[in-house]
Structure 1
Amino acid sequence: MPHASEWTWYVNGIKEVLYSDRPHAKCTLDEEKNALLNWVYYHDVMKKFSIRHWRTTPREKHEPSITQPQLHGGSKRKQISQDDFLVCQRVTPEAPWISVILRLMTELCNTVPTKPCLRTMNAEEQNEFATRIRILDWRIRNVPMPAAAEKISSSVRLYQLAMLIYLNRVTENILNQASKMQTYIDDAFTLAAELETCKPHFPMYIIGWEACTDEQRATVLGLLERTKKDPSSRSMFHVEVLVQAGWTQDDLAEGELNYWDKVTTLISVCSTMPSFV
């Protein structure tokens, strides 16, 4: 019976193949291989995000989210670090924001602990943590954006807003910027109403879970429907089901739900770890 996180093994396997074929000293890459490196890097980064929240069994608070799956004969699959894997990668000149966003997603996953426990931190620890989050927040806000006239500009901006919303929510608004958060949310729904499609799943989840009013939810459902009709779009089944499940949780809750617990509960309902690609 296949393991529920089996797709992550294939991502690791592709990294191994590309790494072993890489000319370590010369780093000569053609455009096709560089595009493949970017594609694998994207899946690898978003895999880290999935692992943060997917739980199949109860775990202790400080236990890692998912251990590396055991393969044939009890051996472990070789781990290729992102630094080693990306040493030859070139930033795509016409789309420099892609590399920046992915590196910031990696930093977000590494900086914000799984289940941030701010109440257990002393004052000094909270100050240090807030400083790291403030720097990350600033870097996300300063992602190089495509020109406003470019068709892709709204999609990049939506991804940026989703990262800012997630960062502030998951750190329990440690930066005390409620007014900025509301602006991010309002801007996100404005863009969602204007976009023809949104193929990346991450912003669809994050923005979708923010929908509180009937108008906002109609905006999300409209964007989902338009995206599903695009022949090049991947299945939106998990997005549609989990976003609406989040709305149900919010509607039934007597008070505001803990964001980390809400997202983790929703994602863990899936028998197969969902991808946020």
Structure 2
Amino acid sequence: MTKDHFLNTWLLYHDVLADFSLGSRQRQFLSTTFLGAPSANPENKIIIGSLGCSLEVLECISCINELSGLTERQGEFQDFARGLVKQLENAHQISAIMEDDTTGKIDQMKIENTAELYRLGALIYLHSILSVPSDSDIIQDLVSKALAILTRNGVCTSPWPLFIAACEVVSDEQRIQILDVLEDMQSERRIGNLEIVRGIIETVWKQMDLAEGNGASKRVDWRKLVDMRKRIPSFI
């Protein structure tokens, strides 16, 4: 990877996750600058270590950010969303990171598991904006797979897919798994954004419990629980 390519992909990563944090501006139709479905060419399937996933998966997340702001959810929206679901379900990410004198020991399994975690997170995120219930078989199957990776992959280095899965868990056992992962992350990384992410997750759970007690939908828009004027949460 050239220096320019590395810089461009790193900036894209920050932009995509910043867009997720801020939430898309509400509009009726796709913006005129929207580039459409991500490219599935072989180069875009290679896992980029600094991102944790392939460009194809990252660009899918960017597309979901775009869809999340649409108020008109028929026709074009449904067609594009179905295409994204299919693309993410079939996305195959390839590890091409090789050991050398500068990299040291490479854990290929952890690289592949982390990339898979992003793919699962993207699918959960997409189903959530399609208003699929958290306790549906579709989402819970994806959450279970994500939790299995988080449990066996050692210290998690990717807050975003962890957060996505955490907002969709439905049992106390799943919540304990998430809290255990967060504890390990905080012990290892000791950075402020993890405290903020954990606080949002726990607030989401409380709101889900309240909604369940009132017989309302358990899906919670976490952005409505955060004062963005003070600090925008980071999932990097």
In the alignment, does 2:201 pair up with 1:276?
Answer: no
User: Matched residues in 2 for 1:157 and 1:52: separation?
Assistant: 24
> 1:204-236: per-residue Cα shift (whole Å, max 9, x none)?
211111222221111001111111222486741
> 1:128-186: per-residue Cα shift (whole Å, max 9, x none)?
42221110111112222246962212211111111111111112139xxx433221122
Q: Mean Cα displacement is larger for which, 190-199 or 155-164?
A: 190-199
Contact 1:47-1:275 within 8 A present in 2 as well: yes
> 1:221-270: per-residue Cα shift (whole Å, max 9, x none)?
111111122248674111111001111111122234363x5222134467
Paired residue secondary structure (1:264): helix
2:83 to 117, 121, 135: 135
Identify the structure with bigger relative contact order (alpha carbons < 8 Å, sequence gap 6+).
Answer: 1
TM-score, length of structure 1 as denominator length: 0.64
TM-score, length of structure 2 as denominator length: 0.73
Contact 1:188-1:207 within 8 A present in 2 as well: yes
**1:106 CA drift (Å):** 1.4
User: Matched residues in 1 for 2:218 and 2:172: separation?
Assistant: 22
1:109 to 65, 87, 90: 65
Q: How does 1:75-90 map to 2 (within 5 A)?
A: none
The letter of the residue matching 2:56 is: V
User: Matched residues in 2 for 1:180 and 1:225: separation?
Assistant: 28
Contact 1:53-1:263 within 8 A present in 2 as well: no
Seen in structure 2, the aligned counterparts of structure 1 residues 143 and 31 have a Cα distance that, compared at 3 Å, is same
Seen in structure 2, the aligned counterparts of structure 1 residues 182 and 173 have a Cα distance that, compared at 3 Å, is same
**Between Structure 1 and Structure 2, how many residues are aligned?**
207
Seen in structure 2, the aligned counterparts of structure 1 residues 256 and 200 have a Cα distance that, compared at 3 Å, is farther
Q: How does 1:251-262 map to 2 (within 5 A)?
A: 251-253=209-211, 254-257=214-217, 259=219, 262=221
Paired residue secondary structure (1:152): helix
Q: How does 1:6-85 map to 2 (within 5 A)?
A: 31-52=2-23, 62=27
User: Matched residues in 2 for 1:117 and 1:93: separation?
Assistant: 31
User: Matched residues in 2 for 1:99 and 1:168: separation?
Assistant: 20
Q: Mean Cα displacement is larger for which, 200-209 or 141-150?
A: 141-150
User: Matched residues in 2 for 1:93 and 1:146: separation?
Assistant: 6
Contact 2:46-2:54 within 8 A present in 1 as well: no
Contact 1:165-1:184 within 8 A present in 2 as well: yes
User: Matched residues in 2 for 1:131 and 1:93: separation?
Assistant: 23
- Please tell me whether Structure 1 or Structure 2 has the larger radius of gyration of its CA atoms: 1
Match of 2:173 in 1: 215
Seen in structure 2, the aligned counterparts of structure 1 residues 267 and 166 have a Cα distance that, compared at 3 Å, is farther
**1:36 CA drift (Å):** 2.2
User: Matched residues in 2 for 1:42 and 1:53: separation?
Assistant: 16
Aligned-residue Cα RMSD (Å) equals: 3.3
Identity of counterpart residues, as a percentage?
23
**1:31 CA drift (Å):** 2.9
The letter of the residue matching 2:21 is: S
User: Matched residues in 2 for 1:128 and 1:94: separation?
Assistant: 29
Contact 2:193-2:234 within 8 A present in 1 as well: no
2:131 to 162, 165, 172: 172
2:118 to 127, 150, 159: 159
Contact 2:143-2:168 within 8 A present in 1 as well: yes
Contact 2:113-2:149 within 8 A present in 1 as well: yes
User: Matched residues in 1 for 2:228 and 2:190: separation?
Assistant: 27
Seen in structure 2, the aligned counterparts of structure 1 residues 92 and 262 have a Cα distance that, compared at 3 Å, is closer
Contact 2:44-2:56 within 8 A present in 1 as well: no
User: Matched residues in 1 for 2:137 and 2:45: separation?
Assistant: 35
Seen in structure 2, the aligned counterparts of structure 1 residues 142 and 234 have a Cα distance that, compared at 3 Å, is farther
1:242 to 167, 184, 200: 200
